[in-house]
Structure formats: C-alpha cells, structure tokens
C-alpha cells in the first residue's frame, strides 16, 4: 500500500538518497530529480538493493521549469516535495555567490512555481544550522533553539535563509488566497529543517556519501586521510574558546536525519501547521579534536593532522537544541557518534571508489539474507 507520493529534489545526493530510502521503507512512492552535479545515478541501484523498491529517477535541473512541469504532469499523485537540490560548499559560495543564488534561490523559485501550477502544496526544505550564524553573539543561545535570531555569516547561509523566507511568504500567500475564495488553504505547508552536521553511512556498507570533488565536511575528509587519498587533515583554527581550542559541532547520524524528514513530512500532511522550523541535531557538541579521536578509534590508528588558520565564515559552536523536533515530531537521534564513525569507515574502506565500483559481494549477500 502506498501512503503518498513525494518528489525528492537532489535525491541522488548524500542526504537525499538516505531520505529517499527512508520514504520507500515507509511505503511512500518516491520520484527523484537530480542533475548529478554532485552525485551518481548508481545510488538509485543501492537504494533498491537495500529496500527492494526502486525510486523513479529523472535527470533534471531544478532551474529548468518546463522539465519540472513534465515530471509533475507524469506523476499527478505527488502532493509533497522534499527539496535538497543545492550547492553547499561554504568556501566556494564566497567565490561564486551568484551561482549559489542561481541554483539555491532561483532553483527554488522554479520549483515553487511548478509546484503551484500542479497543486503540490507541501514542501520540506533542507535548511542548515548555518542560518543561525554565530549564536554565541547572544546570551543563552547554546544549544541553539529555533527562536535564535538568524544571521548567516557566508553567502551559502544567506541563500538558505533567503529560501526559508521565500517558502514562508509563499505558503502564507497561498493560504490567504485560498481564504479569499472561502477555502481553508490549510493544505499549504512548509517544514524548514535546520540540520546540524550529518555524518555516517548505511550500516550495510553499500551506501554512503560519495561527493564528486573535494569533500567539505570533516568526517569525509578524515576518511580520505585514513585511506591515503589525503596526507593529513587540516584543522581550521585551534584558538576558539572551547575546551581544546577547536570548533564545536553537533554530528548527527545520516539514518536519524533521514528519519527526521519522514516524520516532518508526515507532520505536515497530518497537522497542517503552515510553515514551521525544526532543528535536527543531537543536542551534543563535539570538538574537531574529539572527532579526530573518535574516527581514529574506528579506524584503529591515529590519523595525522595539522593546524591551519581559521576559515572565514566559520563559527565557534553549532550545537542544536532539538527539543521542538523531539516533542512535536516525536523524533530523536538514536544512533551514536561511534556508530557514525564505524559506519563511515566500513563504507570508505570497502568502497574506495564510492559508487564508481561494485559493492563488496559479501555485503550484497548479507542484505539478501536479511530480506528472506
């Protein structure tokens, strides 16, 4: 039985693919659009390998409105979108901001226009803890609650905040317009999911993060050091006001993050809240040095690193207060940081070419046995 149909933009990317998997496992029909800018179509096969169900996939750019229209025309049962497609490298966003606004903001405008034409009324948006900027500029805002004033410190964060405003204004307008015609308009809803630091891979070892270029996040970089693709990790700043001088982040297992999307989507479809923001994080902060230690433990040896100057736009502490998602969505991070490190290491060690190689046969066999 299918419980609903969802379009997932950026669904072959890291978080999108895990969310597509969670949706299929919860009996949603999933249609993915992605232009493969930072991902591989092979992950559609991996999703099928794990879940036994295959998402529909279109190679499609979200700035191509007619192409989006065609997808909605072909799948008129879609009533919701989970929107991941974006450029996401903070440093690069400072070099080519116009491109970031084109893909992230204009791409979302194209998506919302096409959704409206096809009466697709729920959107779950991939926002980021980056929208808060430096929350330590206010007293008592660590761990960060959703009411913390926004203040991104880089162009990437600015695009995320802009899209949050765009969705908020769009949903409010659609509701108002509906009211003018005597309808409730309550079918128009948006979830702004502010992720903290996604980490880890699928425990089966056949699905994980496989970025096309240089990874930006700490754990994939450490994983590259561990397999010898990179000589050492650069630690950007050891003069922060933390217990060991390195920056603090809240690392959340990718399986928990994917589950958060499923629960937020269900919440929109059942409770019609309008637009609502939820933090998806664990509530526990870890420093860069603590992460190096945790991942080195999973690998079984110390990994080399070097201290480098702070990176522009980085902040001291991004740790979530996840109470709102815990209470309203019934969502809680279940997997530990140690599991994230072990799962990431299993994926990296056994799939050094990511999706450009076949997964180890023993892992595939294990999945088959598990399904019997």
- Point out which residues bind ligand NAD (CB under 6 A): 10, 12-16, 34-39, 61-63, 84-86, 88, 103, 107, 126, 128, 195, 197-198, 217
**What is the spatial distance between Cα 127 and Cα 107, in angstroms, rounded to a whole number?**
14
Angle at 88 between CA 83 and CA 339, to 5 degrees: 85
Return the residue matching tokens 């926004």. Answer: 150
What is the nearest approach in angstroms of ligand NAD to the Cβ of residue 59?
Answer: 9
Residue nearest to ligand NAD (CB): 13
Tell me whether residue 157 or residue 185 sits nearer to ligand NAD (CB atom): 157
Query: What are the distances in angstroms from CA 367 to CA 56, 82, 209, 371?
Result: 22, 27, 19, 6
What is the nearest approach in angstroms of ligand NAD to the Cβ of residue 6?
Answer: 15
DSSP structural state of residue 79: E
Task: Check if the beta carbon of residue 123 is closer than 8 Å to that of residue 167.
Answer: yes
What is the nearest approach in angstroms of ligand NAD to the Cβ of residue 217?
Answer: 5
Distance from the first to the final alpha carbon of the chain: 20
What is the nearest approach in angstroms of ligand NAD to the Cβ of residue 41?
Answer: 10
Task: Check if the beta carbon of residue 344 is closer than 8 Å to that of residue 295.
Answer: yes
The catalytic position among 28, 57, 132, 156 is: 156
Tell me whether residue 185 or residue 331 sits nearer to ligand NAD (CB atom): 331
Tell me whether residue 92 or residue 187 sits nearer to ligand NAD (CB atom): 92
Tell me whether residue 196 or residue 267 sits nearer to ligand NAD (CB atom): 196
**Sequence-ordered list of residues with C-beta below 8 angstroms from that of 169, at least 6 positions apart, any chain:** none
Per the annotation, the verdict on 156 as an active-site residue is yes
Tell me whether residue 90 or residue 275 sits nearer to ligand NAD (CB atom): 90
What is the nearest approach in angstroms of ligand NAD to the Cβ of residue 107?
Answer: 5
Could you tell me the two tokens for 359?
């997964």
Long-range CB pairs of 97-100, under 8 A, 24+ apart, other chains included: 97/155, 97/158, 100/155, 100/156, 100/159
What is the nearest approach in angstroms of ligand NAD to the Cβ of residue 47?
Answer: 13
Tell me whether residue 13 or residue 185 sits nearer to ligand NAD (CB atom): 13
Could you tell me the two tokens for 263?
């629960």
**Judging by beta carbons within 10 Å of its beta carbon (0-12, 13-18, 19+), is residue 228 exposed, middle or buried?**
exposed
Q: What are phi and psi of 333, to 5 degrees?
A: -65, 125
**What is the spatial distance between Cα 158 and Cα 67, in angstroms, rounded to a whole number?**
27
List active site positions.
156
């Amino acid at each position: 039985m299918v419980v609903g149909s969802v379009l997932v933009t950026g669904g072959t990317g890291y978080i999108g693919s895990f969310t597509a998997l969670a949706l299929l496992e919860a009996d949603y029909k999933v249609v993915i659009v992605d232009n493969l800018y930072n991902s591989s179509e092979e992950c559609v096969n991996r999703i099928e390998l794990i879940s036994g169900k295959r998402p529909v996939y279109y190679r499609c750019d979200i700035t191509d409105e007619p192409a989006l229209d065609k997808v909605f025309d072909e799948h008129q049962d879609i009533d919701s979108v989970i929107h991941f497609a974006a450029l996401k490298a903070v440093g690069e966003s400072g070099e080519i901001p116009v491109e970031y606004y084109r893909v992230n903001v204009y791409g979302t405008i194209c998506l919302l226009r096409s959704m409206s034409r096809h009466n697709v009324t729920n959107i779950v948006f991939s926002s980021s803890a980056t929208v808060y900027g430096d929350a330590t500029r206010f007293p008592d805002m660590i761990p960060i609650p959703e009411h913390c004033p926004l203040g991104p410190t880089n162009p990437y964060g600015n695009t995320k905040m802009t899209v949050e405003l765009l969705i908020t204004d769009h949903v409010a307008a659609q509701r108002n317009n509906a009211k003018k015609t005597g309808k409730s308009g309550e079918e128009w809803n948006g979830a702004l999911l502010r992720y903290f630091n996604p980490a880890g891979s699928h425990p089966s070892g056949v699905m994980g993060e496989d970025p096309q270029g240089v990874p930006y996040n700490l754990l994939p970089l450490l994983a590259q050091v561990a397999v010898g693709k990179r000589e050492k990790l650069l630690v950007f700043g050891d003069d922060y006001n933390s217990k060991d001088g390195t920056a603090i982040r809240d690392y959340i297992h990718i399986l928990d993050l994917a589950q958060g999307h499923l629960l937020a989507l269900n919440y929109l479809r059942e409770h019609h809240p309008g637009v609502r923001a939820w933090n998806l994080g664990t509530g526990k902060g870890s420093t860069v040095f603590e992460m190096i230690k945790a991942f080195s433990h999973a690998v079984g040896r110390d990994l080399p690193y070097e201290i480098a100057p702070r990176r522009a736009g980085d902040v001291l502490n991004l740790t979530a207060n996840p109470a709102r998602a815990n209470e309203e969505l019934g969502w809680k991070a279940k997997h530990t940081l140690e599991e994230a490190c072990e799962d990431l290491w299993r994926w990296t060690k056994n799939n050094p070419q990511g999706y450009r190689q076949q997964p180890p046969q023993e892992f595939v066999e294990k999945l088959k046995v598990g399904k019997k």
